Structure 1
Amino acid sequence: MDIDRDIMEDTNRDICYFIYGGSYLPNRIIYQIVEELVNDIDLICLLFTCKQFYYNFRQQYKCRFKGVSLIDQSTHALNKIRDNTIHATKSFHLRSFTDIFHRSISNQLVKSNIPLFNYNNNNSHSDNSEDSIEEAVILVDQIYHKQQKNNNSDDSIETPIIMGGAGDDYNEQPLMQDLPDTIKWLAVNSSSRPLTLATGWKFPSQLEKLEYTSTINRKIEMGVLPETLTELSLRTPSETSLEEGVIPKSVTSLTLKKIEKSLEVVGDDVPVIYYHFPSHLLHLHIHFKIESPMLMFPPTLLSLSLHMPPATTDFRFPSNLVSLTLGVGRDGVSRSLNLSLLTALQTLVIRSSVPIPSDYLRLPPNLTSLVLYASTTIDSLTFFPTSLVSLETFYITIKGAVEKGEQLHDTLTHLSLQFKEAIPVGFIGPSIKTLKLGFITKELLDVALLDGTIPEGVQTLSITSYRNFGIPPTILQSINRFTWNRLNTKTENLAFPSTVGALEYFSGLPANYQIPSSLTSLSTVATRQANLLQKEYGLSTLYIYQDENNRKWLLPETVTFLSLDIPSHFDGMDETYYLYVRLDPIIYQTNVTELVLRTISRDIIHCNIQRLEDYSNNNNNNNNNSDTYDVLITDQHSLLGGIVRLSKQQPQTQQLYLNINWKKIGDPFKISVTTIPGTTNIQ
């Protein structure tokens, strides 16, 4: 979107509009106001307001956008780069704020064998030379490297990043050269160079957190990893020994993963695996089945995740554990799991792929949170400690005790159950505040929620995979957050509780639903528009309200957050996914200020919408006779976007589309805003 009211155009720089109590606010007060701003779009609008402050601000105050980020540390995916931010670095349309944008990511660095992803802000912007780089990603795509060797066309630049291809031959050592010592967090993805002294690894001297993904299976040598590390994540093709001293003593958090679908070594050549962990380790997470004959966990360990070792493995759980996550397979049920001596344990997660005996498990006495997904039976609800606050399990696991008339402890406030049958009335107690009910039956109408099933006092309710008809009248007025997912195929008229403030309705099946007037947040499925020849989606028009100014609303005026799940499509003719989303009804006929568009279980864009004037009063606004209506739309993490100028007089005739396309699943999305589907007249 490159329609931008550039602040530079205003030549009257001597007027300050920040007046309070008849006098101008001092700059230090305004700067303090800026520091308190959380939403970057508020900062942009603040700087739009006062030109004098804008120029003083740029010259005297090195401001940053707080939400802008090039690197996403939180994601578990191999690709840590935010696609929208990379795109924004190449073409940032809010021209007056370009320097602030680049300053906001000046502490981040990306080096890749794919030119598209390279970003070294400090080297390209001299005004940021004082900023120290603290986060970096070394990103290698072996498929791209092989395509370049085979002299493929330039179109291969847009090849999706595929990590860990067989026969990797790209050496990322040049990418690792000259990394600033100020880097504290580093991700190295798809390295084909083992962590040995001979391969010349040199990490930044101040490095604290490292995420390393290798495409080869080689032991790590002692002395390669820096002693400054506190958090380490290793991802390798198969299980590899950790020799004593390999992991620095400074590491307090260690995560070990295997590349999915890696080949298992079988036969007489299977190596014996040993693990030596740092003596002061606090957090250990092992995401694969362990084959080691012995595991010596440090006594300092507070949280542990692993697959339950077989009886042939000698190990003991540390007595200080606070959190424990276990995966139980066939080998793991060969010994009982007695946790009664772990008096410090508060959180326990057990997921079993095989049936386990009823006497297999004994719980710790002070447990507060339990997730138990296993094919087993519990004869009495006294099995659960009275300290338990949160429980998640299959109903069949506790069915026998419930049918005997037993009640869950009244200390429970969070309950999540998966059902294959009707829920008995009165079983769920009045202490429950958060309730999640999932139905896993394949029958159409065999399960229904009966009167009295949901107790008074439930505030957050989630019902998923419900196949019966209608919303039960037992859903009470105490509920303020409601998630509803139905699977029947009948067109229904649904009325949600009037007190609901946040609603998540994800069924893509026909339904007419009444939106509560108290709603502030709505997550739902985008509906297909009338033009079936285009993959055009938008907000449902089921809710229509006309106010005293004859303005028609598609959502209650209280709704400020909207999330739309959009079905994805593949066109076999051009091998391109594409779709269009109508934006103008959301702009004109709602008060939504935060919009999320999702497909294939990931965000396309998470954006803020700021209307730069009050549209509802523009007909009576004598100070603004313009025929246009300006709206600022920007992505939260990249500020990708700009100002869109729309007509005031006939908004219903001016359509605005968000065009989305990508070549393959995993590709970065290409996003443009247009007035005609499929065109790119507004970028």
Structure 2
Amino acid sequence: MMINNNLQDNQDNQKEYITKFPNIVLLHIIRQVTNNVDLICLSLSCKKLYGMIVGSHHITFSSVGYIYIDVQSHWLVDNGVDVRHASSLFKLKSFKSLFKNALSNQLLISEKEDNDNDTSFNNNSLMINLYAQEEMNFHGYKCHTRYQNAPISISRIYIKGRSTVPPTFSMYPFFDNLNSVYADAPKVPDDPDYRTLLPRTLTQLDIGMQKLTSPNYFQSLDKLVELKVVLVVFDHCQTINFNHLHNLRKLSLTLGLVPKQCSIDASNIQLPPNLTSLALSHFCNLGQNTMTTQFFPTGLIELEVELGGHDYSSISLSHLTSLTRLTIHCLTSVPPGFIPRTVLHLTLDIMFYDVGLLEGSIPDTVESLTLEYNGQTDNMFDDDDDEGITFITDILNNPTTILPQSLKNLTWNVSTAAATTPLSLHSYPPQLEYLKGGLIDINTIPSTLTTLDLIIHPQQQQQQQIGIQIPIYSIPSINQLDNNSHTDSNNNNNNILPNNLKKLIVRILPEIENNNKQLFSFRLDEIINQTSVGELTIYTNISDRHVQLSIRRLDSKNANVLVVGDKSLFGGVIQQKQQKQQINGNYNYPPLYLTIHGEYPLCIQSTPAPYK
């Protein structure tokens, strides 16, 4: 009897219970899939899923890329994620056989009980029945027929280009459900009597307009929670009222002034009382001495504003006790004590090269700091270096007194045209974990870093028989350091980056624009064997293409390494074969190149030569 029970238990355990689920349940499970590992596990468990991928092609995972081939057209088709760059498909030892075995020789039988259970694989009706369409894009000049034919379930619409906003939305079937409108610079007639009647149900509105026909244009939209307004033409004498929008929490405002040399009196902009986020573009050009402390709602959590000169003496932000995010477009230097100590995330956009950073101007409570400069660079210095930019000189000379010691994140957004030498500080904040910059001297980066984001130059150019130069990019190429040059006491001598550094983001400089083949290689073996990096992202200027890889070292000597794409099924297990001799204690593996070639799939190989 005991044996029979065990046999029955084994039979029960071998049943594929997931095949009993109706499609509506499976689709809800699929929507939770966020990475390739989950996708593989789900695929191995569910033959129904195979049929839906191969048969209907309607499955879309939330952030996982997959590719299938359209048999009729022989085109590679993707699911909206950047997977056309994945590979062809599995050049390395990888999951190819797993998926090939899983998706081939499968016989799908449609049973009556399944049909009664809503499990039909009808391409035309399945997804429509399960998920009502919620958003719609409108392009071109004649889109009113599309408005009329739009599903009643539409709650968000996107009006792009020079499409015309209709005089009213009330005639359309989705009127009662509409809560979000995004209108990108629509064509609004100049007739002052023309009034776009937006539904009062709107909670979000993002609209670009030539000009405002009435100062109370938005007054009727009393349910708005988020509002972004871009006005191409705004006379400096005009007013704009938001004070009746009591539900509004987030406001972003950009005004194109006419005439340009004028400024706006801040009292012409009437803000609602309950705002928590306010962004005033520096193009708004609010006149100095016109803003007062009372201009800013007391509940602000986020604030973006342009300040300079007498603004710092006429305005106090100390009453903004909830303010944690602050962006200042600095016309002049921020004085010490102006920024509230409640601010944790601070961005200082330096507008002019002679604007400096004063000691004590950045509170020691700031945890995340972004310094930006994209100002004038030509013919303003006697020297050809960036020491003429005042705030850079201040940082380089006094990092310990300028930068908060509690700082965890530092972003250095200085254009490469302005910063001609790598960022090299003799002392970083002791708790710094994230560093993003342009050119960075990696000899000086602290051992506390877990994430590094930087720009790199090509290390060398390799001539090929096809008559082109192939740029080869590499981390040591920043300053051609040797393996023992890093001064980090907590770092192995063999590593070129600190051991704590797990996430690396590299940005390829535009030299490859001169390479008409759009071809370059990156030394992947150095990342595998001489760092502890587990996540590698490479941004290029080839069609705004970027590569995201996860690296998992499967043994202590890195003989077997799993490299897979985070947003695709590219990759597999790399088997490195150690050469006879070791150099500087490193496992002497041959070079390994990640080759990116235009729109072709990625390739990992032992030479930087183009692959066929």
Say whether the fold is shared (TM-score over 0.5). Answer: yes
**Alpha-carbon displacement from aligned partner over 1:408-449 (angstroms, at most 9, x marks no partner):** 4333211111123222122112111111111121x3xx2221
Q: CA deviation at 1:232?
A: 3.8
What's the TM-score, normalizing by structure 2? 0.70
Report the equivalent of 1:180.
124
**Alpha-carbon displacement from aligned partner over 1:53-94 (angstroms, at most 9, x marks no partner):** x998688998998742359xxxxxxx9965752455852457
Report the equivalent of 1:271.
none
Cα distance change on mapping 1:514 and 1:328 into 2, 3 Å = same
1:419 and 1:549 mapped to 2: Cα distance? 39
1:570 and 1:128 mapped to 2: Cα distance? 53
Counterpart of 2:348 in 1: which secondary structure? strand
1:362 and 1:239 mapped to 2: Cα distance? 28
Q: Does 1:414 align with 2:325?
A: yes
Report the equivalent of 2:293.
381
Q: Does 1:226 align with 2:138?
A: no
From 296, 305, 310, the equivalent of 1:393 is 305
Q: CA deviation at 1:220?
A: 1.1
Cα distance change on mapping 1:597 and 1:571 into 2, 3 Å = closer
From 466, 474, 481, the equivalent of 2:409 is 481
1:561 and 1:436 mapped to 2: Cα distance? 23
Q: CA deviation at 1:552?
A: 0.8
Q: How does 1:113-262 map to 2 (within 5 A)?
A: 180-184=124-128, 207-212=132-137, 214=139, 217-220=142-145, 224-235=149-160, 238-239=163-164, 241=166, 247-249=172-174
Across the two proteins, how many residue pairs are aligned to each other?
A: 504
From 252, 271, 278, the equivalent of 1:349 is 252
Report the equivalent of 1:630.
560
Structure 2 residue runs without a partner (length 5+): 1-12, 19-28, 54-58, 68-76, 116-121, 258-262, 375-388, 463-468
Counterpart of 1:329 in 2: which secondary structure? strand
1:677 and 1:389 mapped to 2: Cα distance? 50
Counterpart of 1:436 in 2: which secondary structure? strand
Q: CA deviation at 1:387?
A: 0.9
From 497, 506, 531, the equivalent of 1:564 is 506
**Alpha-carbon displacement from aligned partner over 1:236-258 (angstroms, at most 9, x marks no partner):** 65326377666432xxxxxxxxx
Structure 1 residue runs without a partner (length 5+): 1-25, 48-53, 72-78, 105-120, 133-177, 185-203, 250-277, 617-628, 663-667
Cα distance change on mapping 1:27 and 1:390 into 2, 3 Å = farther
1:412 and 1:548 mapped to 2: Cα distance? 38
Q: Does 1:498 align with 2:430?
A: yes
AA aligned to 1:485 is N
Counterpart of 1:658 in 2: which secondary structure? strand
Counterpart of 2:520 in 1: which secondary structure? strand
Report the equivalent of 1:521.
451
1:483 and 1:209 mapped to 2: Cα distance? 37
Report the equivalent of 1:372.
280
Counterpart of 1:402 in 2: which secondary structure? helix
AA aligned to 1:303 is Q
Q: Does 1:612 align with 2:554?
A: yes
2:44 and 2:470 mapped to 1: Cα distance? 49
2:33 and 2:592 mapped to 1: Cα distance? 28
Pairwise CA RMSD: 4.4
Cα distance change on mapping 1:129 and 1:504 into 2, 3 Å = farther
Q: How does 1:26-37 map to 2 (within 5 A)?
A: none
Q: Which moved more, 1:479-488 or 1:240-249?
A: 240-249
Q: CA deviation at 1:342?
A: 1.8
Counterpart of 1:644 in 2: which secondary structure? strand
Cα distance change on mapping 1:390 and 1:240 into 2, 3 Å = closer
AA aligned to 2:299 is S
Counterpart of 1:615 in 2: which secondary structure? coil
Q: Does 1:303 align with 2:204?
A: yes
Report the equivalent of 2:9.
none
2:348 and 2:274 mapped to 1: Cα distance? 26
Cα distance change on mapping 1:217 and 1:205 into 2, 3 Å = farther
1:658 and 1:592 mapped to 2: Cα distance? 16
2:560 and 2:154 mapped to 1: Cα distance? 49
Report the equivalent of 2:367.
459
Report the equivalent of 1:362.
270
Q: How does 1:39-118 map to 2 (within 5 A)?
A: 40=35, 67-70=63-66, 82=80, 84-86=82-84, 88=86, 91-93=89-91, 97-98=95-96
2:46 and 2:327 mapped to 1: Cα distance? 52
2:570 and 2:506 mapped to 1: Cα distance? 19
AA aligned to 2:475 is L
1:483 and 1:389 mapped to 2: Cα distance? 21
2:167 and 2:92 mapped to 1: Cα distance? 50
Contact 2:142 2:163 in 1 (8 A): yes
From 535, 543, 553, the equivalent of 1:594 is 535
From 313, 332, 346, the equivalent of 1:403 is 313
What's the TM-score, normalizing by structure 1? 0.64
2:249 and 2:278 mapped to 1: Cα distance? 8
1:103 and 1:416 mapped to 2: Cα distance? 54
Cα distance change on mapping 1:653 and 1:679 into 2, 3 Å = farther
Cα distance change on mapping 1:342 and 1:367 into 2, 3 Å = same
1:583 and 1:351 mapped to 2: Cα distance? 44
Q: CA deviation at 1:524?
A: 0.9
From 583, 607, 610, the equivalent of 1:676 is 607
**Alpha-carbon displacement from aligned partner over 1:279-324 (angstroms, at most 9, x marks no partner):** 3422222111452511222222212122355336984431222111
Counterpart of 2:312 in 1: which secondary structure? helix
2:62 and 2:186 mapped to 1: Cα distance? 40
Contact 2:84 2:601 in 1 (8 A): no
Q: CA deviation at 1:560?
A: 1.1
Report the equivalent of 2:575.
645
Cα distance change on mapping 1:448 and 1:353 into 2, 3 Å = same
Cα distance change on mapping 1:246 and 1:129 into 2, 3 Å = farther
Counterpart of 1:516 in 2: which secondary structure? coil
Q: Does 1:336 align with 2:334?
A: no
Contact 2:88 2:601 in 1 (8 A): no
Counterpart of 1:584 in 2: which secondary structure? helix
AA aligned to 2:350 is F
Counterpart of 2:145 in 1: which secondary structure? coil
Report the equivalent of 2:524.
583
From 278, 291, 304, the equivalent of 2:188 is 291
* Identity percentage of aligned residues: 24
**Alpha-carbon displacement from aligned partner over 1:508-531 (angstroms, at most 9, x marks no partner):** 3x7465112111111111232145
Contact 1:222 1:246 in 2 (8 A): no
Counterpart of 2:567 in 1: which secondary structure? coil
Counterpart of 2:510 in 1: which secondary structure? coil
AA aligned to 1:390 is E
1:214 and 1:447 mapped to 2: Cα distance? 44
Counterpart of 1:391 in 2: which secondary structure? strand
1:247 and 1:98 mapped to 2: Cα distance? 49
Q: CA deviation at 1:330?
A: 2.0
2:171 and 2:109 mapped to 1: Cα distance? 37
AA aligned to 1:248 is P
